[in-house]
Structure 1
Amino acid sequence: MEDRIAQIQEHDLRTVWKNEERDFTQWLAKNVELLGSELGLELEDARTEAAVGDFSSDIVAREMNTGERVVIENQYGRTDHDHLGKLLTYSAGKNAEFTMWIAEEFRPEHRSVLEWLNESGPKDVKFFGIKPRVVSIEGSDARGFEFDVVVEPNDWKREITNESLTETQRSYREFYAQLIDAYADHRPGWNKLKPGPRGYLTFSAGMTGVSFAWVFHQGPEFAVELYIQSGEPERNMAVFDALDDQSGEIESNLTAELVWQRLPEKNACRIKWPKPIDGKITELDAEQRTDLIEWGVEAMDDFQDEFEPRISSLTLE
C-alpha cells in the first residue's frame, strides 16, 4: 500500500467557538499564554471587556516580565474599518505597549496600516496582526489550533534573537536557556519558558500578579524569588503580609534566611532567597555558571514547593 500525506484543512472559528464575544474571546482570555508563547512574550492577567470611555476593549492583559499593557481586539471574518478604529481607540485609551488585532482574514489595506504604524507610529507601541486558525487533518474530526502572525514590528524577530544583542544580553539569554532545560529535566511537567536577553526570568505562581523568578541583582547576587505586583497596592500588601505571617515556618522548612521586602516605590513586594556571586554574568566562567544553574534549580524547586500551596490557599478579604 502506497503511503500518502493527508491534506491540512482549515475551518471557520465558528466551528469551534460559535460566538466571538461569548465564546472565543472568553477562551482566549483564559488561555492568553498560548498567544504569548507564539510571540515570545509571557502574558497574564487577561481581562475581558475592559472599559475605555463609553466603549470596552475585548481583552486587556499585561506582559509578566515588564508589566507593559497589552490590548487585544478580536474579529471574526475579514478586517474592517470599524474594528481598526476600535483597535486604535483602545490602544490609546489603555496606553498599551502591545496592540494586537486578531482576525480570520486581513485586508491588504489594513495590513498596510499596521505596518505603517510600526514604521512611523508611536515609538513605544508594537502592533501585531494575527490570524487564528482552526485546522484538521483530512478525514479526521479532531481540530487543532494555531496562530499565524501576519504583521509584526519590523525589528521583532531581531529583538527576540541573538542579533544586535550586547555581550551582557547574550550571556543572560544563554544562561537562562541552560537553566530552563535543567529545571525542566528536574521538574517534569513544568511549562518550559523562552529565555530573553534580560537579567530575570519569571513564571506564574498560580495567582494573578504573583510570579516566581530567577533574578540577577546588584551586589552582585543571584536569587530565586516571589514577586508580587498585581497593579493593586493594597492587594499586593495583603498577599505579602499573609505570607510574612508564616515566615518562621517557611524559613525553617527551607533551612534558609529569606529577604522580605516591601517595595512601596514600585507598588510591589518581594520575597527572595539570594546567593552572592563573584561577579557580573559576563565575568563568570563556565564552571561558575554551571554551579549557579545547579543552585538555581535546587533552590527554585524547594522554593516553589514551599510557596505554591500557601499561595493557592490564601483567602484575601
Structure 2
Amino acid sequence: MDEHIARIQEHKLRTVWQNEERDFTRWLAENIQLLGSELGIEIEDAHTEETVGDFSSDIVAREMNTGETVVIENQYGKTDHDHLGKLLTYSSGKNAGFTIWLAEEFRPEHRSVLEWLNESGPKDVKFFAIKPRVLSIENTDKRGFEFEVVVEPNDWEREITDESLSETERSYREFFADLVDDYSERRPHWSKLKPGPRNYLTFSAGISGVSFGWVFHQGPEFAVELYIQTSDAERNMAIFEALQEQSAEIEANLDTELVWQQLSDKRACRIKWPKPLEEKITQLSASQQAQLVEWGVDVMDSFQEEFEPRISTLNVD
C-alpha cells in the first residue's frame, strides 16, 4: 500500500457517545440538520423522548418544506424486533411522513421490512434505514462521523423525472434544482436541499418556526422571503415587530423596499423581496428561468446576510 494512504477504521458509537439515550440521541437532536442534509430535506424543531401513548419516541421533529412529522428511532448495535415495533408504533401514533431508523447494523430481515413498507405500505410515509458511523484514519485518535443510507424510498432519487407529476410540478422541481446547485456554489457550507414539486423551497433561519425561502406567488411573482410561523402567534408577532423596528436600516442596506405582511388568517408573518413575473413558471423560457435563478441566488445571498445576524440576537422569549 502507498505509504501516503492509510486505512479507515470504524468505531462503535459508544466510543464517542457512551449512552445511546442520554448522549447520542441528545446530540442528534441538537445537530439534526446533519441528518437532514444527508437526506436532502430540512428538519427542525427536534424534541427528544416525546410521548406516544404509554411509550416515548427518541426524536420527533418536523420537515420544514412539507410540514410533515419526522419520527426517529435510535439503536446501538444490531437491529431487533423490539425496536422495529417501537418504530412502527411511534410512526403511526404521530402520523409521520418520515420514519427513520438509525442503527449500527441492520439485519437483512429488518432491512427487507422497510423496503417492503416503501413498496407496499402507506403511500404518504417514507421509511429510511440509516447507519451512523464513527470513523478514523488508522493510527490516529481524531474521529470523524457520517451517515450511511441503507434503505430509502424507491423513488427518492428519481422523483425529478416522475411522470405522475404535472407540468407545473416538474417545472418547479427543475427550477429549484438549478437554484439549489447555484446557491450551494455561492455558499459552500449551506446545507443543500432536495427540491420538491412545489412552488416554494425553504430552509431554517436559525430559530425554530422561522425560515428563509424562495416562493412563487400568484401575480405572478417570485420572492425571496423570511416566513415567521412558530406555534405561538404572539411570538410570531414579537419577532416580526422586532425586525420591523429595524426596517429603515435593513432596507437601506439592501437598497430596496421590502414588503412587510402580517398574515392574520394564518397567524404568521412574512417579510419578502418580490420580483414581478410576466408569465407563470411553465411559460418562462430557459433563458428567463436562468435569469430568475441568478436573481434568486443574488438576492437570497444578500437577504440572508442581512437578516441572519439580526435574528440570532433577537430576544423575544
Query: Normalising by the residue count of structure 2, what TM-score does the alignment of the two structures yield?
Result: 0.89
Q: CA RMSD in A?
A: 2.5
Q: Which runs of 5+ in 1 are unaligned?
A: none
1:156-171 equivalent positions in 2, closer than 5 A: 156-159=156-159, 161-164=160-163, 165-171=165-171
Q: Which runs of 5+ in 2 are unaligned?
A: none
Matched, 1:285 2:285: yes
How many residues are aligned here? 316
Look up the SS of the partner of 2:140 in the other structure.
coil
**Aligned match of 2:35:** 35
**Aligned match of 2:134:** 134
Distance (whole Å) between structure 2 residues aligned to residue 184 and residue 100 of structure 1: 26
Matched, 1:155 2:174: no
Matched, 1:260 2:260: yes
Q: Deviations over 1:55-109 (max 9, x none)?
A: 2211111111111110101010112222222212222222211111111122233
Q: Percent identity, aligned pairs only?
A: 74
**Residue 48 of structure 1, CA deviation:** 1.2
The amino acid of 1:176's aligned partner reads F
**Aligned match of 1:84:** 84
**Residue 277 of structure 1, CA deviation:** 0.8
**Aligned match of 1:93:** 93
Distance (whole Å) between structure 2 residues aligned to residue 151 and residue 180 of structure 1: 24
Query: Normalising by the residue count of structure 1, what TM-score does the alignment of the two structures yield?
Result: 0.89
Change in CA separation of 1:20 and 1:243 when aligned onto 2, cut-off 3 Å: same
Change in CA separation of 1:216 and 1:235 when aligned onto 2, cut-off 3 Å: same
**Aligned match of 2:276:** 276
Q: Determine if contact 2:42/2:204 at 8 Å carries over to the other structure.
A: no
**Residue 272 of structure 1, CA deviation:** 1.2
Q: Deviations over 1:184-238 (max 9, x none)?
A: 4545654444444432222221111111111111111010100112233332232
Q: Determine if contact 1:231/1:267 at 8 Å carries over to the other structure.
A: no
The amino acid of 1:137's aligned partner reads I
Change in CA separation of 1:199 and 1:20 when aligned onto 2, cut-off 3 Å: same
Distance (whole Å) between structure 1 residues aligned to residue 301 and residue 154 of structure 2: 38
Change in CA separation of 1:40 and 1:5 when aligned onto 2, cut-off 3 Å: same
**Aligned match of 1:218:** 218
Q: Determine if contact 1:48/1:60 at 8 Å carries over to the other structure.
A: yes
Q: Determine if contact 2:40/2:192 at 8 Å carries over to the other structure.
A: no
